Structure 1
Amino acid sequence: MVSRVIPVDPFDLVIFGGTGDLARRKILPGLFRRFRAGQMDAESRVIGAARSDLDVDGYRAMVREAIAEFDPASARDSEALEAFLGRLGYVVVDAMGETGWDDLEREVNSDRIRAFYFSVGPRLFGELAERLHKHGMADHDSRIVVEKPFGRDLESAKALNATLAQHFHEHQIYRIDHYLGKETVQNLMAVRFGNTLFEPLWNSQYVDHIQITVAESVGVGGRGEYYDRAGAVRDMMQNHLMQLLCLIAMEPPAKFEPDPVRDEKLKVIRALDPVEPGDVVRGQYEASSDAPGYNEQVENQGSTTESFVALKAHVSNWRWAGTPFYLRTGKRLKARASEIAVVFKDAPHSIFGAEAGRHANILTIRLQPNEGIELGVTIKEPGPGGMRLIDVPLDMTFAEALGPDDADFPDAYERLIMDVIRGNQTLFMRDDEVEEAWAWTDPMIAEWEARGEPPLPYASGSSGPDEALALIHRDGRHWREIKP
């Protein structure tokens, strides 16, 4: 089976922060892979814009090195790489001043799609939007891509949305969350709404609870300055995990189109109950024999910023009343793993007796690594000796199920950038989604800041604080093991 590649119309993509870490690691290698796949029209161009004093040849050399470092397999296609580098331009631009803006205006083509990727800190979003407008590049066909964080609370999110709205309409603003570009996240919607098998069971009558885990094995590393201002709730819970919860809990949209999908996600956020103080556990990793602790990686010694959070949430609507959602995310945990587990209720009556044990069907959506979907079912253990029951997985690891031709799926950034060019906002957050997510998150943060309690310590390489285990154990349930 070979994936279909749908070309996009000619475009100019300007990457503000085009020499930065995100551009080097994700955006530019991703665009090169889309180029190799045949999705970039012959007239399309990518223009880096940054303060770095480079000429076009210097920028192309930098991009060549970045692709060789972060996607060495693709970089071996030297002919394609040289052709891609020939599509690159570069302009020295000062986001806070006037330097380079006239040059950029001359560089971009007004007769094609123009997209501007704000791969910079959020404090520059308003400045960039204003200058694009001032120099005539914010016309009705232009699009801007905005990286998180979308504010740090409700007030700042509203201010940011208002600033962008002064120069761009909502249909031109693409708030990117790379988790929504993952193959498995989109497949979740296909599994739910494309099969009659699951949707009739997708409610509190049949689902016992749902777990969403995003675990990282690394610490804050070089992001210490940013992370210590944000913490796990602002960095991960308010956006990534919130979006996953919405896709799991949402009602079927009328159509798979931007506003119908986002309308249903918004309803989920508005149906979330406030989180009770006793239903949140915050943690901070300690040093281990081979790795520094959190406070050794940030400037603010004695920081009370959390690197781990677990909570229990409730969606108060007819579909999910009484079904808890357990969410957790953290750094320096035992493995890098992201998954959604839909745990179905036990059969109402076991005909096999107590000795058969308890067996639950679990639908697991693996986001990383080894993207795939697995359904646990109960069968008889082979062999003589009576009716012994065991659980076995029906596994659809994409790379195995679809074959080698389809194993190299587009990276999330690749897919989302192509959606920007197509003008498809389905997988991007709308302004009201962002604000409602902060409206739910802010009281939780304010409550623990008012208490002044520090986060609980946990060992590096563990599953988080013991209290996080108790959060779910007290309900007679248990967290799924974090494993790669």
Structure 2
Amino acid sequence: MRKPQNHILVIFGASGDLTKRKLIPALADLYHQELLPENFAVLGLGRTELSDEQFRDKMSDGVKEFASKKEREHNDFLDQLYYYSFNTKEGSEYEGFRNRLEELDKEVGSEGNFIFYLATPPSMYPLVPKFLAEQGLNKSDSGFRRLIVEKPFGYDLESAQQLNCDLLKYFHEEQIYRIDHYLGKETVQNLLVTRFSNGIFEPLWNRNFIHHVEVTSSEDIGVGGRGGYYDDSGAMRDMVQNHLLLLTSLVAMEPPTLVNAESIRNEIVKVLQSLRPIPKDKVEDFVIRGQYTESKVRGEDVKGYRQEEGVDPKSRTETFVAMKFFIDNWRWAGVPFYIRTGKMLPTRVTEIVIHFQPTPHHLFSEDKEILRQQNQMVIRIQPDEGLLMKFGMKVPGAGFRVQDVNMDFHYSELGDTYLPSAYERLLLDCMLGDPTLYSRGDAVEAAWKFIDPILKAWKENPCIKVHGYPGGTWGPDVSDDLIEGNMTWRYPCKNLSDGLYCEL
């Protein structure tokens, strides 16, 4: 793999948790794979007063705990970390920062190439680009300048449009990298390869052969210490608007003309723009929201959401969302898509399930009134990453009794193959100038355009129920009513090929 050009990675909010737990460990892993440039440095920024050595000591703890390549010595890598303290909210203080950056650029030999990473609260997203532009640090005349923005990209459609407008005042779209760590997962990227490199799947990937699609992303923990943040956000904003609609787009997109950023991102946008709007007065028919209540999980008492620290005791914030929707285009017309996410569910899992059409006859069904389970293809994103096919086989003995069996592939079977972390992959892509796995501004706005009427309906109509569900269950029972007929959601285990018994 080619190495990136020499550059400095500047991290705003470097004294925070994201830098210690994710960014610096990912960079350490890239360093030990010899994927960082020859002349490279990290300049951490924050209001906390730290010397270079204090910053390195703090990041050393993060590397030891969270880096994948734990057996390596990290001293050489840590020597490339620097820190500068100033008030990032004050435009007048950016001249001192620019001087320190230019001084470090000469010292390191990074040729005027800078990546700015906003690991800050969203309120800083419009401010930092403005202050960088005032110092001329947005111009790519003497080297590349790139801006990485963490989610959330807005709070609703209006704020997302305003944020895009603010960013584009100072940086060009091709300089802006909106990071969604779900796209950095190897199994998410493998979805494109599974679809488009195998002649046995793509001919079936349409309304003629697929009955419905479901996407699940569940967590087995509550909000913990994030109650204050989460109560202002909720599952719809935290998971559905970005991660789950993005996964849906990769399932539903048309084959890109070329394997490059523009072609792939164009197809993702087309899917998001084809989502059939859910009218405000129909929201309750298509969207179920829930909130976990106190219960016992594995013999332990767990709090209800409203008992969590920082949460309003009368909160109506959803910790669970299940939704049915349609994609109005030639390939998917009439095929329902179901997405589900929640906190305090039985297990942590993210997967996509393709349910194929049942056979048009009941030849091998003992009960003519009940259809045998359709063929399924399960694409497991996490954990136990892999692919599972379910199909019918004859049970040995007299007669033609049919039983569903599994054919599976697990990434762990690749032996010594190293799976990079999401941030590792995404940071390297930005360094290489490849935005394929980053969200584009029009995709963000298209997703919000679909979600916004649902959020407004919840806000304007207090009669729309927030269903309680005991912690450790699969959410409100009424979510099963979204799926037509006698079918329900797939209830996955932490292990992909669950067999007869499921160890949660």
TM range (shorter): over 0.9
The answer to whether the Cα contact below 8 Å between 1:211 and 1:342 also exists between their aligned partners in 2 is: yes
CA distance in 1, matches of 2:32, 2:407: 34
TM-superposed CA distance for 1:337, in Å, is: 0.5
Moved more, 456-465 or 285-294: 285-294
TM-superposed CA distance for 1:355, in Å, is: 5.6
| Corresponding residue number in structure 2 for 1:284 | 291
| Corresponding residue number in structure 1 for 2:480 | 469
Instruction: Report whether the alignment pairs 1:139 with 2:139.
Output: yes
1:435 to 438, 445, 462: 445
Instruction: Report whether the alignment pairs 1:373 with 2:380.
Output: no
Moved more, 161-170 or 284-293: 284-293
TM-superposed CA distance for 1:6, in Å, is: 4.1
Moved more, 17-26 or 346-355: 346-355
Moved more, 312-321 or 355-364: 355-364
Q: Spell out the pairing of 1:73-472 with structure 2 (5 A cutoff).
A: 74-78=69-73, 81-97=74-90, 98-99=92-93, 100-101=96-97, 102-108=99-105, 111-140=111-140, 141-275=144-278, 276-277=282-283, 278-289=285-296, 290-297=301-308, 298-354=310-366, 358-381=372-395, 383-400=396-413, 402-403=414-415, 405-406=416-417, 408-453=418-463, 454-472=465-483
Letter in 2 for 1:312: K
TM-superposed CA distance for 1:299, in Å, is: 3.6
Same amino acid, percent of matched pairs: 41
Letter in 1 for 2:478: E
CA distance in 1, matches of 2:4, 2:362: 55
The answer to whether the Cα contact below 8 Å between 2:323 and 2:482 also exists between their aligned partners in 1 is: yes
Instruction: Report whether the alignment pairs 1:40 with 2:36.
Output: yes
The answer to whether the Cα contact below 8 Å between 1:145 and 1:174 also exists between their aligned partners in 2 is: yes
CA distance in 1, matches of 2:193, 2:70: 33
TM-score, scaled relative to structure 2:
0.90
Moved more, 427-436 or 9-18: 9-18
Letter in 2 for 1:87: Q
- 1:260-303 C-alpha deviation (Å, 9 max, x unpaired): 11111111111111223211100011122422211122342211
CA distance in 1, matches of 2:150, 2:476: 31
Q: 1:372 to 1:178 in 2, by over 3 A?
A: same
CA distance in 2, matches of 1:438, 1:21: 27
TM-superposed CA distance for 1:353, in Å, is: 4.7
The answer to whether the Cα contact below 8 Å between 1:108 and 1:114 also exists between their aligned partners in 2 is: no
List runs of 5+ in structure 2 lacking aligned partners. 495-504
Over the aligned positions, Cα root-mean-square deviation in angstroms equals 1.7
CA distance in 1, matches of 2:373, 2:473: 27
CA distance in 1, matches of 2:101, 2:303: 44
CA distance in 2, matches of 1:59, 1:92: 11
Letter in 2 for 1:225: G
TM-superposed CA distance for 1:387, in Å, is: 3.0
TM-score, scaled relative to structure 1:
0.94
Query: What secondary structure does 1:74 align onto?
Result: coil
- 1:199-232 C-alpha deviation (Å, 9 max, x unpaired): 1100011000000000011111121121111111
List runs of 5+ in structure 1 lacking aligned partners. none
The answer to whether the Cα contact below 8 Å between 2:326 and 2:333 also exists between their aligned partners in 1 is: yes
2:65 to 56, 59, 69: 69
The answer to whether the Cα contact below 8 Å between 1:183 and 1:371 also exists between their aligned partners in 2 is: no
CA distance in 2, matches of 1:148, 1:359: 39
The answer to whether the Cα contact below 8 Å between 1:51 and 1:93 also exists between their aligned partners in 2 is: yes
TM-superposed CA distance for 1:350, in Å, is: 4.4
Q: 1:323 to 1:86 in 2, by over 3 A?
A: same
The answer to whether the Cα contact below 8 Å between 1:242 and 1:437 also exists between their aligned partners in 2 is: yes
Aligned residues: 472
